[in-house]
Chain A
Amino acid sequence: MGEKSRLCRVWVGAETGILKGISPAKKQAFNFSETSSLSRDQEVRVLCWGDPAETEVLVGSVNGTVRTFSTEKGVFTETRQCGDADQGFFTGLAVADCGLVTCVETGRLRVWREESSSPVVDIDAGKNVCRMRQNAAQKNRVATGGKENGLKIWDLERPDTPVFTAKNLRDDWIGLKQPEWLRDAAFLPDSDKIVTCTGHHQVRVYDPSTPQRRPVLEVRYGEYPLTCLSLVAGAQSVVVGNTHGSLAVLDLRKGLVRGCLKGLQGGVRGLQCHPTLPLVASCGLDRFLRIHSLETRALEHKVYLKSRLNCLLLSSGALGEEVGGDVEEVKEEEDELWQSMEKVEEKSKRKAPEEEEEEEAAVEEEEEAVEVEVTQVTNSKRKKKKKGQK
């Protein structure tokens, strides 16, 4: 199991409760759950890295358990209960300095320490929370939001009041309240800004550093609810996916559509851009994991994973090259291969210049000589042609 799990670059959680690892380079997918003890209670809702070295994957299930999966050993090493199943499924999972941060649909945002079974911090983030996201730069800042529940940014060290509460848009011209439905959020690196996508097909940018609590930018994309978003590494753009399976890259400077990623057949549930490479992985209800290139917008990999997929986790290394002892061995083998191939190359090299060919042809068999003649003839023809052209 360990060998398999070390190969995997992409981790996917399925509706059937299976954690799947995929190695796009080797075009292999593995299941890391016992198929005999499957049940729908274990439906994987959230995934996150347990440590910065990416040796542990935390798997949040519907029944309120968080399992730790070791990518080195390839087995589940630890199971802990974080809340009950009746409090709703997980909408977010993160590891902060103060402990494990979980958030459930009913709005309980909690921080768990390893030693105690009861939460250290318990925040009520309001009802119908659709997503909780952590700020990658400041680990103790998280954002929550949901249906009729605006964006809130919490500081886990000061759990009493949110650091930032977004304000809804102004009522429309008839005086009706604008509906709110945050579906996903992400912190923009190197700034306080946060980008969200909504169920009413809007992408919004909030800026907590300014006094304005309403969004500083709003973009509409398509006509179906946006389900998830992911920031493109090193670019001022964001990838969003909707319930009809259309992915688009939006520019955050002016709010224009940069391009669409094609090939999806069903709604998107999980979306993540690679932290360094121009790649984006998406999974969803059509049971496929797809990896698109952001430069060409072409489909690079497509893997059928047999059950509906809920969430996705990309490792920060390159997808193509494997890290570990196996790779070195492979390289050595390759070197040997090249060494063995050199001889062949020499032969072909000898053939190229004409004079050598003649000499060798005399020494070697007649058949080859014939070949050489033919080549010479063709060469001379070419020369003639060239002359003619001149």
Chain B
Amino acid sequence: MDVTQVPLKQFKGKKKNIKMNNKMQKKKRTPQGENGNVSDVEVVETKPVLTPLEPMLPPTFSLSEIKNKQRRHQMFMKLKQDKRKQKMQVKKTRKKEREALGDKAPPKEVPKTIENQRVYDETTVDPDDEEVNWYYLNGCSPFCLNVVLCVIYLYLNSNLQVAFDEGTDEFSSYFNKLTNPKVLITTSDRPRGRTVRFCEQLATVIPDAHVYYRRGLALKRVIPQCVSRGFTYLMVINEDRKMPNGLVLCHLPDGPTAHFKVSSVRLRKEMKRRGKEPTEHTPEVILNNFSTRLGHGIGRMFAALFPHDPQFVGRQVATFHNQRDFVFFRFHRYIFKNEKRAGIQELGPRFTLKLRSLQKGTFDSKFGEYEWVLKRHEVDACRRKFVL
């Protein structure tokens, strides 16, 4: 029975198709003028079917109300095309107007993005603040760093001359050039291929970094040993299903500890058009857009990972670029082609960080006091509000 039914259905469908084809053919024929009378009649027949559709549409008509899928699709495509046409026309006329006006043309409108529509954060560091500009008021130069670091600093904190709060915080010994960074890189227990390579490549980016195998040790036990051996940073990369997915950055000897989510890790091998292996010169550091008080802290944390004096011979730059609370890390080599142009070449690895929490003191997830915690469901869901 089934066997017989199926071909029947198919046959029916085919019949319809055939009918449709006939109609189509007939329609096509009409303009050609063959069988003029017949075609005219047909057109008269078909027209009342087609034309009443449009005036019959109720004012609140939406395409989704059409029940025939083909028809709906057709209408939708038409609507889309019309919209596009309109848009292009407006664009064209505007362009013509601009060309006609020449120099007098009004400036181009800046598109609205959730970034330039950012909600003002009251913690944004203010340049003219007594409490913030303590060093500045006391007439000390913030740091005696060399030119580029200063430039970087100006960039990082274009409105910051070290705050009193910042000037005396845990990083002050680094920024006062009392300590040199020394970083220990380790992973979660039993890392697999990608994470291991990621650690190795990070160690080539950060000077004076030592990769150690975790050996199942507890971080709270590792930290005192690190302090006694003069490390200033403990960096732990967490791994999930062979992919690095977390980063704990703990400043030693007395904090703070930041916990990041790591995503889109691209190792050197996976990168297109990458340069040769990085050299052992200490790189320059660029920190972009760390504007709020919390952002400053995080920026300082990244800055303190690298030694004070970059070696310009190496022409290497590590960039931490903050955009919409995501921190993008890139590692480049640059070259000045002529006075105006510079070329860059990525050396890798690249990855993205997102802050999860900032904790006061060294790593202590149970009893530590948190300075900032990401609370996804509690904070108002404003997409234009950023914390860094």
Chain A contact residues, CB within 8 Å of chain B: 15-16, 18, 31, 35-36, 38-40, 199, 224-225, 227, 243-245, 262-263, 265-267, 269, 285-287, 304, 306-308
Contact = CB atoms under 8 A, between A and B. Distances in A.
Contacts of A40: 168
Contact of B165 (A31, A243, A267, A307): A307
Nearest to B367: A225
27 contacts: A15-B165, A35-B130, A35-B131, A36-B137, A38-B134, A39-B168, A224-B366, A227-B369, A243-B368, A243-B370, A244-B370, A245-B370, A262-B378, A263-B378, A265-B373, A265-B375, A266-B370, A267-B371, A285-B369, A285-B370, A286-B372, A287-B293, A304-B123, A306-B129, A306-B131, A306-B132, A308-B371
B180 to A, nearest CB: 23
Nearest 3 CB-CB pairings of A with B: A267-B369, A285-B371, A304-B122
B164 interface: yes
B116 interface: no
B138 interface: yes
Contact of A243 (B129, B164, B293, B367): B367
A267 B369 CA distance: 6
A41 B368 CA distance: 22
Given A35-B131, A285-B370, A286-B372, 14 more contacts: A18-B131, A31-B131, A35-B137, A35-B164, A245-B370, A245-B375, A265-B375, A266-B369, A266-B373, A267-B370, A267-B371, A285-B369, A306-B132, A307-B165
A112 B36 CA distance: 118
B182 interface: no
B210 interface: no
A266 to B, nearest CB: 5
B159 to A, nearest CB: 14
B333 interface: no
B360 interface: yes
Contacts of B165: 15-16, 306-308
Interface residues of B, number: 25
A306 B163 CA distance: 10
A15 B360 CA distance: 13
Given A36-B137, A36-B138, A307-B165, A243 B131 contact: no
Nearest to A302: B122
Contacts of A15: 165
A244 B365 CA distance: 10
B33 to A, nearest CB: 62
Contacts of B372: 265-266, 285-286
A304 B138 CA distance: 24
Contacts of B368: 243
B131 A286 contact: no
B164 A16 contact: yes
Nearest to B373: A244
A306 B129 CA distance: 10
Interface string B86-101: 0000000000000000
Given A16-B164, A16-B165, A243-B370, A287 B123 contact: yes
A266 B378 CA distance: 13
Nearest to B365: A224
A292 to B, nearest CB: 14
Contacts of B373: 244-245, 265-266
A259 B181 CA distance: 46
Interface string B333-364: 00000000000000000000000000010000
Interface in B143-200: 164-165, 168
A305 to B, nearest CB: 9
Contacts of B138: 36
B255 to A, nearest CB: 11
A276 B369 CA distance: 31
Nearest to B358: A266
A262 B367 CA distance: 21
A31 B134 CA distance: 14
A304 B130 CA distance: 15
Contacts of B366: 224-225
Interface string B230-267: 00000000000000000000000000000000000000
A307 B369 CA distance: 16
Contacts of B369: 227, 243, 266-267, 269, 285
A357 to B, nearest CB: 39
B164 A285 contact: no
B192 to A, nearest CB: 30
Contacts of A35: 130-131, 134, 137, 164
Contacts of A227: 369
A308 B360 CA distance: 11
A285 B256 CA distance: 12
A263 B380 CA distance: 9
A285 B360 contact: yes
B338 to A, nearest CB: 46
A308 B131 CA distance: 13
Interface in B120-144: 122-123, 129-132, 134, 137-138
Nearest to B133: A35
Contacts of A306: 129, 131-132, 165, 293
A39 B168 CA distance: 8
Interface string B293-306: 10000000000000
B293 A199 contact: no
B16 to A, nearest CB: 54
A306 B367 CA distance: 25
A250 B79 CA distance: 58
A306 B130 CA distance: 11
A302 B129 CA distance: 20
Contacts of A269: 369
B385 to A, nearest CB: 12
Contact of A307 (B131, B137, B379): B131
Contacts of A304: 122-123
A293 to B, nearest CB: 17
Nearest to B129: A306
A225 B134 CA distance: 34
